Amino acid sequence: MTVSQEFTPGLVLRGLTPPLRLADFKLAVFDMDSTLINIECVDEIAAEAGLKEEVAAITEAAMRGEITDYKESLRQRVKLLRGVTVADLERVYVERLRLNPGVERLVAACKAAGMKTLLVSGGFTFFTDRVRDHLGIDYTRSNVLELESGPNCGQLTGRMVDQDWGDICDGDEKRKMLLETCAKLGISPKQAIAVGDGANDLPMMGEAGLSVAYHAKPRVREQAMVQINEGGLDRLLELFA
Protein backbone atom coordinates (compact mmCIF):
# COMPACT_ATOMS: atom_id res chain seq x y z
CA MET A 1 0.00 0.00 0.00
CA THR A 2 1.36 3.42 -0.95
CA VAL A 3 1.46 5.85 1.96
CA SER A 4 0.13 9.37 1.41
CA GLN A 5 2.35 12.23 2.51
CA GLU A 6 1.73 15.95 2.84
CA PHE A 7 3.84 17.78 0.23
CA THR A 8 2.93 21.26 1.44
CA PRO A 9 0.07 22.24 3.78
CA GLY A 10 -3.22 21.03 2.30
CA LEU A 11 -1.55 19.24 -0.64
CA VAL A 12 -1.20 15.48 -0.11
CA LEU A 13 0.58 13.11 -2.51
CA ARG A 14 0.46 9.34 -2.93
CA GLY A 15 3.16 7.62 -4.96
CA LEU A 16 4.46 10.81 -6.58
CA THR A 17 7.85 12.51 -6.51
CA PRO A 18 7.71 16.12 -7.75
CA PRO A 19 8.62 17.98 -9.78
CA LEU A 20 6.56 16.61 -12.64
CA ARG A 21 6.48 17.96 -16.21
CA LEU A 22 3.19 19.36 -17.50
CA ALA A 23 4.48 18.70 -21.03
CA ASP A 24 4.31 14.95 -20.30
CA PHE A 25 0.50 15.19 -20.21
CA LYS A 26 -1.72 15.79 -23.23
CA LEU A 27 -5.27 15.86 -21.80
CA ALA A 28 -6.85 17.36 -18.68
CA VAL A 29 -10.26 15.95 -17.69
CA PHE A 30 -12.46 17.78 -15.21
CA ASP A 31 -15.62 17.05 -13.32
CA MET A 32 -17.78 20.18 -13.02
CA ASP A 33 -19.99 20.38 -9.93
CA SER A 34 -17.95 21.12 -6.78
CA THR A 35 -14.76 20.80 -8.88
CA LEU A 36 -14.73 23.51 -11.56
CA ILE A 37 -17.68 25.28 -9.94
CA ASN A 38 -18.76 25.97 -6.38
CA ILE A 39 -22.18 24.29 -6.39
CA GLU A 40 -24.01 21.05 -7.12
CA CYS A 41 -26.36 22.35 -9.81
CA VAL A 42 -29.09 19.77 -9.23
CA ASP A 43 -29.30 20.80 -5.57
CA GLU A 44 -29.58 24.49 -6.43
CA ILE A 45 -32.24 23.80 -9.07
CA ALA A 46 -34.13 21.85 -6.41
CA ALA A 47 -33.90 24.89 -4.13
CA GLU A 48 -36.02 26.75 -6.68
CA ALA A 49 -38.71 24.10 -6.13
CA GLY A 50 -38.34 24.17 -2.34
CA LEU A 51 -36.82 20.68 -2.35
CA LYS A 52 -33.13 21.33 -1.79
CA GLU A 53 -32.83 19.38 1.46
CA GLU A 54 -34.39 16.24 -0.01
CA VAL A 55 -32.39 16.36 -3.25
CA ALA A 56 -29.11 17.35 -1.57
CA ALA A 57 -29.32 14.32 0.73
CA ILE A 58 -29.45 12.02 -2.31
CA THR A 59 -26.59 13.93 -3.98
CA GLU A 60 -24.39 13.67 -0.90
CA ALA A 61 -24.99 9.93 -0.59
CA ALA A 62 -24.20 9.42 -4.28
CA MET A 63 -21.01 11.49 -4.12
CA ARG A 64 -19.82 9.60 -1.05
CA GLY A 65 -20.38 6.31 -2.86
CA GLU A 66 -23.17 5.18 -0.52
CA ILE A 67 -25.59 4.88 -3.47
CA THR A 68 -24.14 2.46 -5.99
CA ASP A 69 -26.67 3.08 -8.79
CA TYR A 70 -25.78 6.63 -9.78
CA LYS A 71 -28.12 6.67 -12.76
CA GLU A 72 -31.14 5.80 -10.64
CA SER A 73 -30.16 8.35 -7.99
CA LEU A 74 -30.00 11.06 -10.67
CA ARG A 75 -33.34 10.00 -12.14
CA GLN A 76 -34.87 10.29 -8.67
CA ARG A 77 -33.50 13.79 -8.22
CA VAL A 78 -34.47 15.02 -11.68
CA LYS A 79 -37.99 13.63 -11.25
CA LEU A 80 -38.41 15.99 -8.30
CA LEU A 81 -37.55 18.94 -10.57
CA ARG A 82 -40.69 18.65 -12.68
CA GLY A 83 -42.25 22.08 -13.18
CA VAL A 84 -39.03 24.03 -12.58
CA THR A 85 -38.69 26.61 -15.35
CA VAL A 86 -35.85 27.69 -17.62
CA ALA A 87 -36.01 31.04 -15.82
CA ASP A 88 -35.24 29.17 -12.59
CA LEU A 89 -32.22 27.55 -14.21
CA GLU A 90 -31.05 30.93 -15.41
CA ARG A 91 -31.35 32.31 -11.89
CA VAL A 92 -29.18 29.48 -10.55
CA TYR A 93 -26.55 30.20 -13.20
CA VAL A 94 -26.50 33.97 -12.68
CA GLU A 95 -26.91 34.17 -8.90
CA ARG A 96 -25.27 31.04 -7.49
CA LEU A 97 -22.81 29.46 -9.90
CA ARG A 98 -19.22 30.64 -9.58
CA LEU A 99 -15.95 29.15 -10.78
CA ASN A 100 -13.88 27.72 -7.97
CA PRO A 101 -10.63 29.51 -7.06
CA GLY A 102 -7.72 28.77 -9.38
CA VAL A 103 -9.81 27.17 -12.12
CA GLU A 104 -9.08 29.75 -14.81
CA ARG A 105 -5.35 29.75 -14.02
CA LEU A 106 -5.10 25.94 -14.13
CA VAL A 107 -7.07 25.59 -17.38
CA ALA A 108 -5.00 28.36 -18.98
CA ALA A 109 -1.77 26.64 -17.92
CA CYS A 110 -2.94 23.34 -19.40
CA LYS A 111 -3.82 25.01 -22.68
CA ALA A 112 -0.52 26.91 -22.75
CA ALA A 113 1.27 23.57 -22.39
CA GLY A 114 -0.54 22.29 -25.48
CA MET A 115 -2.99 20.06 -23.63
CA LYS A 116 -6.56 19.40 -24.70
CA THR A 117 -9.30 19.78 -22.10
CA LEU A 118 -12.43 17.73 -21.40
CA LEU A 119 -15.36 18.42 -19.08
CA VAL A 120 -17.37 15.33 -18.05
CA SER A 121 -20.30 15.87 -15.74
CA GLY A 122 -23.28 14.13 -14.21
CA GLY A 123 -24.83 17.60 -14.41
CA PHE A 124 -26.63 19.30 -17.23
CA THR A 125 -25.81 20.91 -20.56
CA PHE A 126 -27.58 24.13 -19.52
CA PHE A 127 -24.57 24.74 -17.26
CA THR A 128 -21.76 22.67 -18.76
CA ASP A 129 -22.03 24.34 -22.16
CA ARG A 130 -21.63 27.77 -20.58
CA VAL A 131 -18.70 26.71 -18.41
CA ARG A 132 -17.10 25.09 -21.49
CA ASP A 133 -17.47 28.26 -23.53
CA HIS A 134 -16.21 30.54 -20.75
CA LEU A 135 -13.08 28.46 -20.13
CA GLY A 136 -12.48 27.46 -23.74
CA ILE A 137 -12.70 23.75 -22.97
CA ASP A 138 -12.38 21.49 -26.01
CA TYR A 139 -14.82 18.66 -25.27
CA THR A 140 -17.79 18.03 -22.98
CA ARG A 141 -20.19 15.28 -22.04
CA SER A 142 -23.17 15.77 -19.72
CA ASN A 143 -26.93 15.30 -19.45
CA VAL A 144 -29.84 17.07 -21.15
CA LEU A 145 -32.88 18.10 -19.12
CA GLU A 146 -36.13 17.49 -21.01
CA LEU A 147 -38.51 20.44 -21.44
CA GLU A 148 -42.29 20.34 -21.75
CA SER A 149 -43.90 21.29 -25.03
CA GLY A 150 -47.25 22.95 -25.55
CA PRO A 151 -48.84 25.05 -22.79
CA ASN A 152 -46.07 24.23 -20.29
CA CYS A 153 -43.25 25.02 -22.68
CA GLY A 154 -40.19 26.12 -20.72
CA GLN A 155 -40.82 23.83 -17.75
CA LEU A 156 -38.87 20.69 -16.88
CA THR A 157 -40.64 17.36 -17.36
CA GLY A 158 -38.67 15.66 -14.60
CA ARG A 159 -36.83 13.50 -17.14
CA MET A 160 -33.60 13.58 -19.13
CA VAL A 161 -33.18 13.19 -22.88
CA ASP A 162 -31.35 10.17 -24.30
CA GLN A 163 -28.37 11.15 -26.47
CA ASP A 164 -26.58 9.34 -29.28
CA TRP A 165 -23.92 8.07 -26.86
CA GLY A 166 -26.36 6.83 -24.20
CA ASP A 167 -28.78 7.93 -21.51
CA ILE A 168 -26.90 9.35 -18.49
CA CYS A 169 -23.34 10.50 -17.93
CA ASP A 170 -22.36 8.50 -14.85
CA GLY A 171 -19.00 7.23 -13.64
CA ASP A 172 -18.75 4.59 -16.35
CA GLU A 173 -19.57 7.15 -19.03
CA LYS A 174 -16.93 9.53 -17.67
CA ARG A 175 -14.36 6.74 -17.93
CA LYS A 176 -15.55 5.86 -21.42
CA MET A 177 -15.33 9.48 -22.58
CA LEU A 178 -11.80 9.83 -21.20
CA LEU A 179 -10.70 6.69 -23.06
CA GLU A 180 -12.48 7.70 -26.28
CA THR A 181 -10.91 11.16 -26.20
CA CYS A 182 -7.45 9.69 -25.62
CA ALA A 183 -7.99 7.36 -28.59
CA LYS A 184 -9.14 10.30 -30.73
CA LEU A 185 -6.01 12.23 -29.80
CA GLY A 186 -3.73 9.22 -30.28
CA ILE A 187 -2.43 9.32 -26.72
CA SER A 188 -2.26 6.91 -23.79
CA PRO A 189 -4.68 7.37 -20.85
CA LYS A 190 -1.52 7.66 -18.76
CA GLN A 191 -0.98 11.01 -20.49
CA ALA A 192 -4.25 12.29 -19.01
CA ILE A 193 -4.91 14.16 -15.77
CA ALA A 194 -8.34 13.52 -14.19
CA VAL A 195 -9.75 15.86 -11.55
CA GLY A 196 -12.87 15.25 -9.45
CA ASP A 197 -14.44 15.17 -6.01
CA GLY A 198 -17.11 12.45 -5.95
CA ALA A 199 -17.40 8.67 -6.20
CA ASN A 200 -18.64 8.90 -9.79
CA ASP A 201 -15.25 10.39 -10.73
CA LEU A 202 -13.30 7.34 -9.54
CA PRO A 203 -13.65 5.28 -12.75
CA MET A 204 -12.02 7.98 -14.88
CA MET A 205 -9.47 8.79 -12.20
CA GLY A 206 -8.45 5.13 -12.18
CA GLU A 207 -7.52 5.30 -15.89
CA ALA A 208 -5.57 8.55 -15.79
CA GLY A 209 -1.85 8.92 -15.36
CA LEU A 210 -2.47 11.55 -12.68
CA SER A 211 -5.60 11.55 -10.52
CA VAL A 212 -6.50 14.61 -8.46
CA ALA A 213 -9.06 14.88 -5.65
CA TYR A 214 -10.21 18.45 -5.12
CA HIS A 215 -11.82 19.10 -1.70
CA ALA A 216 -13.16 15.60 -2.23
CA LYS A 217 -15.17 12.96 -0.41
CA PRO A 218 -13.12 10.60 1.81
CA ARG A 219 -13.29 7.63 -0.58
CA VAL A 220 -11.97 9.78 -3.43
CA ARG A 221 -9.15 11.27 -1.35
CA GLU A 222 -8.03 7.78 -0.35
CA GLN A 223 -7.61 6.64 -3.97
CA ALA A 224 -6.27 9.79 -5.65
CA MET A 225 -2.59 10.42 -6.32
CA VAL A 226 -3.04 14.08 -5.36
CA GLN A 227 -5.33 15.59 -2.73
CA ILE A 228 -5.98 19.33 -2.78
CA ASN A 229 -7.55 19.87 0.62
CA GLU A 230 -6.84 23.58 1.01
CA GLY A 231 -6.80 26.43 -1.49
CA GLY A 232 -7.69 26.59 -5.16
CA LEU A 233 -7.49 24.14 -8.03
CA ASP A 234 -4.35 25.84 -9.35
CA ARG A 235 -2.43 24.37 -6.41
CA LEU A 236 -1.95 21.40 -8.71
CA LEU A 237 0.63 23.51 -10.56
CA GLU A 238 2.88 23.38 -7.49
CA LEU A 239 3.82 19.84 -8.55
CA PHE A 240 5.18 20.85 -11.94
CA ALA A 241 8.59 22.24 -12.80
Phi, then psi, of 8 in degrees rounded to 5: -140, 165
162 in active site: no
Order across the sheet with 27-30: list the strands: 4-8, 11-14, 226-228, 210-214, 192-196, 27-30, 116-124, 139-147, 156-161
Candidate list 24, 31, 170, 234, residue with the active-site label: 31
167 in active site: no
Distance CA 8, CA 63 (A): 26
Residue 227: enclosing H or E segment and its boundaries? strand 226-228
Helices (H), 113-241: 125-135, 171-185, 202-207, 218-223
> Which amino acid is residue 196, in one-letter code?
G
Candidate list 24, 33, 69, 138, residue with the active-site label: 33
Q: What angle do CA 168, 170, 173 make, to 5 degrees?
A: 85
Active site residues: 31, 33
